[in-house]
Every structure is written in structure tokens, then in C-alpha cells.
């Protein structure tokens, strides 16, 4: 595979490429309105079963690999992805219709995720070691650490062909934990998926990982995903996508005779609240017009953190802001959406919103080529918004609804009417935040990340990031999908009671040569235990 065009169209069942069925599907280039040159073979239940049993077998040895060895594996995956050079980026662009600049940024993020998780596990921070010694035999010696839960199924995201798909955050965190991964490749970018899958397979071989530690199944239909989630060998599920898709997987997993956890990152409208201090001064307002326009149109609005809702109390400054924002967005060139299906859904969503009583549009909806979309700014009153649940759901793409509130009380009601969100932002002066602390507090209750004077797009990948919020932003607000702590989703604690020292995992022994920070008898310590 020296060129991007040698795509087999087959699934990786462990190291082996297999067709599964003879049913074929294609990925698509929105910009040229044509299929990409490749054919993909739909996996079937036989491949699902084979991949799952292989993963179950691989788990036996993979979970016992040292953190150092798994870190080498993760770094090798990043190296292999980079080794594709521009070929991978070209395929990424063909399948997503996203620009090359975005492909570069996303590849960098993907490799950063893999390497930062490698850095994390070599310091054993993911093990969360806790030790309670026997107090001279008064009580049992108890030592606890996190261990992997088992094979994980990952559903790739349409809008992140690299960073949230084949070797994306879910895969990287599961492998870091010590869990084998089976990816249900996203059909919209199956060639990108196959290339990255081959990178993982090569990295696994090069670092001595067991066959079955990774599989990549091609499928455009629901059956393969369903069979994966219901397979007895599977211990958990990671998903990034729509509320409908995530909820369906959650329900399936909960219906199993042995239920398994599903972390689904689903819809979010990422409300942005503008207080007076961000609107009244003309220069400040103009800055926010520019920043918001950039955030709203970035990636043709196809980000889970796209700002879909703007809240503010009625004022002339707000009117000026809306007009300036709409004008600016009218001048942004329409961008190609990822896929005709997404384009169609976006248009349907905008049409549905515009058709609701009391909704007006401020933008021109300039028509572009093929499946390109321009940004849309709509407006509705706070009272109508509160009463109409049809205005609360996410429209995936570059559309924002401004909710003009009669007063601060209504603004608080509007915020309180929201479902869970990945992010919420407040724009204003510190004094605004203090004056309106009830609004800020109400927003805080509903979000995973509370942003002060910043747009919601742009997700830092580090230990302090929370990406995931109360339902329906995600199925379990107690975990993050981004950053090193996303590893926690795929781990469970185990306690060893009175285990002989040399039979303990290294991180729990009295000797602590690497100075791992542990909770010892209730206090943090990186020292040896005497």
C-alpha cells in the first residue's frame, strides 16, 4: 500500500483482510458530487463473531502487557499514521470534502492523542493505585488499581475521520487501558479508515501485540453494529454521533443479559449567553461578531461543539450584533458538507426550524454548489423557545438560533429549559458574571465544560478537558470522551487482599522505583512503603 489508491475494501479481522459479504458500498466526494474510486465489502455476522472471539482471546495477553509496551504500541500507531504522509490526507479530503488544512490539524490531533495517552500510562497515572497496609496485622493488607474491562467496540464519527474514528480518542483510550478494540468503520470515510487500520495492524505487529488486539469492520448498515454490541465477548462501547444512533446503541447494550457500559457522545447545541458587557461596546461586539462567525462556520458547522444557540436579553446592541453577525456570515463562502445525507438533513433541520411559529431568519441562505451549505442565523423570542421543544434539538451544520429574552428572568428560564450540553459559554465582563450568577449557575448545571469569554469550538486535548455532559449530550456524564482521563471509561478497580508482594502488579508493590504517586493509608505518596 504505497499509494492511497490501493484500498482493498475489505475488513481487518485481526491481521487478516476479509470480505465478509459480497454486498458493496461506496464513500462519496461531496465537492465533485461523485463516488470515490473504491468499493467496500459489507462485513457480516460471521466476521463480527470472528473478530469478537479473536479480541476475547487477545485480551488474555494484551491486558497483561506492561504499560511501557502498550505505550510503544500507541506511539507506533502515531508513527505509522504519519508515515502515510500526504497520501492519507488526500484520501481524507476526498472522502470528507474537508480542506487539506483541516486534514493536517486533525492528523496532528490524532497523533497527539495517541502519544499523550502513551505518556500518561508510562507514569502509571491511569492505574490510580490505592494501598492500605495491614497496620501490623490488625487488618488485611488491601491494594487497589484499575484494570481493563475487556474488548471495546468503537463506532467512528462522520465528522472526525481521523481524530474520532479508527485510531481516534475512543480507540486510543481503550488500547491505553489494555482493552482490544473492534472498530465499526464509518462508511462515509471507509478508505481513510482502512488506511489507518492498516497502520494500527502494522504497529501491533511491530510491537509484538497479539493478533486480534484490533479489528476494523466495514459496514454501511445497522446490522453489523448491532451484532457487535450484542456479542458476549464485548465489554463496552464508544460512540460519537447522533442522539438517535447513540440512544439505540445504549438501549441495545442495556437489553443484554449482561449489560455493558456505552459511552455515547451525542447531540449538543452549545448555548452561548451574551451579557451586556459583551454587546454594548462597539469594538467588543465586533470582536464577538468575528469570533462567533468563525466558530459557527468552522468545518461547515460540522463540530459537536458548534454554537447552535445564542441567548441574550433584548436590547438595541443585540439587534446590532445579530445584523452584523448575519452580514458577516453572508459573506462566508458556502462549504461542502461531509456527505449528501448530512447536507440533506441539515437543510431539513433548517426548514423545520424556520417553519416553527415565531422564528425568523436573518441570513440570505446563498446557494452554493452541489452539497455545500452556507451559515444560517435564525431568531426567536425567549417565551416561544421555552414552550417549543422542537427548537431545542441540534441541527448538525452551520445554523445558530438566537433566543431574544424579554428580561433576565426569562433568560434564566431559557437556560433552565435546556437539556444536557457538552459546553456552555458566557460572554461578558466579570461584573456581568457576578450580577447574573444565577444564570451562570443554571448553565453550569447543564454542561460538561463552562467557557468564559470563548467560543465552544476548539477542544483542548489534555487531562483537564471534560468532553461529555448530562444527557442527551452523552449517555454518562461521569466520564469524558477527550483527554487522557477518557481511559477511565474502559477500566474497573480490583482489590488484592493479602497478596504476596512478588505476585502483586508492580505498581502496587512496596518498592516504588518509578516514584508513582499512590494513595497510601489515605495520603498521597510517591515513596517506597517501609
**Residue environment code for 418-427, b if the CB has 16+ CB neighbours within 10 A, otherwise e:** bbbbbbbbbb
Q: To the nearest whole angstrom, how small is the minimum distance from the Cβ of residue 302 to a second copy?
A: 22
Neighbours of 501 (CB within 10 A): 12
Nearer to a second copy, 332 or 499 (CB): 499
Cell numbers that stand for 220 in this block: 454501511
Nearer to a second copy, 230 or 365 (CB): 230
Place of cell 462567533: 292
CA distances from 388 to 175, 356, 423 (A): 43, 9, 22
Contact 240, 164 (CB under 8 A): yes
Q: In the 8-state DSSP scheme, what is residue 239?
A: E
Contact 33, 370 (CB under 8 A): yes
d(CA 479, CA 482): 9
Q: To the nearest whole angstrom, how small is the minimum distance from the Cβ of residue 149 to a second copy?
A: 7
d(CA 322, CA 404): 10
Neighbours of 100 (CB within 10 A): 12
d(CA 267, CA 359): 21
For this structure, is 93 an active site residue? no
d(CA 13, CA 41): 13
Q: Which residues pair with 131 in a beta bridge?
A: 143, 520
d(CA 204, CA 77): 8
Contact 285, 327 (CB under 8 A): no
Q: To the nearest whole angstrom, how small is the minimum distance from the Cβ of residue 82 to a second copy?
A: 22
Contact 226, 234 (CB under 8 A): no
d(CA 267, CA 244): 9
Contact 344, 352 (CB under 8 A): no
Contact 505, 459 (CB under 8 A): no
For this structure, is 304 an active site residue? yes
d(CA 112, CA 78): 8
- Active-site residue among 93, 304, 386, 405? 304
Catalog residues that contact a second copy under the rule CB under 8 A: 119, 125, 130-132, 139-140, 142-144, 149, 250-251, 254, 258-259, 261, 419, 430, 433-434, 444, 447-454, 458, 460, 462-466, 470-472, 475-480, 485, 488-489, 491-500, 503, 517, 519, 522, 524, 526
- Active-site residue among 57, 95, 265, 379? 265
- Which spans in 298-429 are helix H? 316-330, 340-354, 382-387, 408-416
d(CA 458, CA 448): 14
Output the CA angle 90-94-99, nearest 5 degrees: 75
**Coil, helix or strand at residue 351:** helix
Neighbours of 142 (CB within 10 A): 16
d(CA 404, CA 406): 7
Task: Say how far residue 454 (Cα) sits from the centre of its chain.
Answer: 20
Q: To the nearest whole angstrom, how small is the minimum distance from the Cβ of residue 429 to a second copy?
A: 10
Catalytic residues: 265, 304
Amino acid at each position: 500500500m504505497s499509494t492511497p489508491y490501493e484500498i482493498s475494501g475489505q475488513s481487518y479481522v485481526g491481521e487478516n483482510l476479509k470480505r465478509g459479504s459480497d454486498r458493496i458500498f461506496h464513500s462519496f466526494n461531496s465537492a465533485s458530487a461523485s463516488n470515490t474510486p473504491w468499493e467496500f465489502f459489507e462485513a457480516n455476522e460471521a466476521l463480527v463473531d470472528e473478530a469478537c472471539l479473536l479480541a476475547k482471546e487477545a485480551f488474555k495477553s494484551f491486558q497483561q502487557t506492561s504499560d511501557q509496551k502498550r505505550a510503544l504500541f500507541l506511539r507506533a500507531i502515531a508513527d505509522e499514521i504519519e508515515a502515510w504522509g500526504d497520501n492519507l490526507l488526500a484520501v481524507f479530503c476526498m472522502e470528507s470534502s474537508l480542506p487539506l488544512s483541516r486534514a493536517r490539524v486533525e492528523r496532528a490531533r490524532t497523533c497527539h492523542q495517541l502519544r499523550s495517552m502513551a505518556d500518561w500510562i508510562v507514569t502509571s497515572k491511569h492505574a490510580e493505585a490505592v494501598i492500605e497496609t495491614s497496620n501490623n496485622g490488625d487488618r488485611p493488607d488491601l491494594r487497589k488499581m484499575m484494570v481493563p474491562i475487556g474488548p471495546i467496540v468503537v463506532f467512528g464519527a462522520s465528522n472526525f475521520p481521523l481524530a474520532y474514528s479508527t485510531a481516534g480518542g475512543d480507540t486510543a483510550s481503550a488500547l491505553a487501558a489494555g482493552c482490544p478494540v473492534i472498530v465499526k468503520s464509518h462508511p462515509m470515510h471507509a478508505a481513510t479508515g482502512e488506511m489507518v487500520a492498516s497502520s494500527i495492524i502494522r504497529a501491533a505487529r511491530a510491537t509484538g501485540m497479539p493478533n486480534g488486539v484490533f479489528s476494523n469492520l466495514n459496514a454501511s448498515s445497522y446490522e453489523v453494529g448491532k451484532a457487535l454490541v450484542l456479542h458476549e465477548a464485548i465489554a463496552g462501547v464508544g460512540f460519537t454521533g447522533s442522539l438517535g444512533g447513540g440512544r439505540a446503541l445504549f438501549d441495545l447494550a442495556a437489553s443484554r443479559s449482561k449489560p455493558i457500559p456505552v459511552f455515547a457522545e451525542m447531540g449538543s447545541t452549545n448555548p452561548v449567553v451574551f451579557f451586556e458587557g459583551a454587546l454594548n461596546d462597539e469594538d467588543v461586539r465586533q470582536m464577538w461578531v468575528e469570533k462567533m462567525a468563525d466558530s459557527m462556520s468552522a468545518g461547515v458547522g460540522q463540530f459537536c461543539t458548534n454554537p447552535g444557540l445564542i441567548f441574550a436579553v433584548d436590547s438595541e446592541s443585540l439587534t446590532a450584533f445579530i445584523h452584523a453577525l448575519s452580514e458577516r456570515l453572508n459573506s462566508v463562502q458556502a462549504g461542502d458538507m461531509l456527505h449528501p445525507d448530512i447536507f440533506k438533513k441539515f437543510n431539513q433541520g433548517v426548514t423545520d426550524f424556520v417553519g416553527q411559529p415565531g422564528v425568523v431568519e436573518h441570513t440570505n441562505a446563498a446557494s452554493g454548489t452541489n452539497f455545500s451549505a452556507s451559515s444560517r442565523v435564525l431568531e426567536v423570542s425567549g417565551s416561544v423557545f421555552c414552550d417549543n421543544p422542537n427548537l431545542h434539538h441540534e441541527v448538525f451544520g452551520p445554523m445558530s438560533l438566537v433566543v431574544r429574552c424579554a428580561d433576565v428572568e426569562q433568560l434564566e428560564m431559557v437556560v433552565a429549559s435546556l437539556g444536557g450540553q457538552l459546553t456552555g459559554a458566557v460572554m461578558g465582563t466579570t461584573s456581568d458574571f457576578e450580577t447574573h450568577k444565577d444564570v451562570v449557575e443554571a448553565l453550569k448545571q447543564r454542561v460538561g465544560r463552562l467557557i468564559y469569554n470563548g467560543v465552544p469550538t476548539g477542544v483542548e486535548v489534555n487531562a483537564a478537558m471534560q468532553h461529555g455532559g448530562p444527557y442527551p449530550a452523552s449517555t454518562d456524564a461521569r466520564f469524558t470522551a477527550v483527554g487522557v482521563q477518557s481511559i477511565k471509561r474502559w477500566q474497573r478497580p480490583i482489590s488484592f487482599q493479602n497478596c504476596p508482594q512478588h505476585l502483586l502488579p508492580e505498581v502496587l508493590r512496596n518498592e516504588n522505583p518509578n516514584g508513582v504517586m499512590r494513595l497510601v493509608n489515605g495520603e498521597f505518596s510517591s515513596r517506597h512503603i517501609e
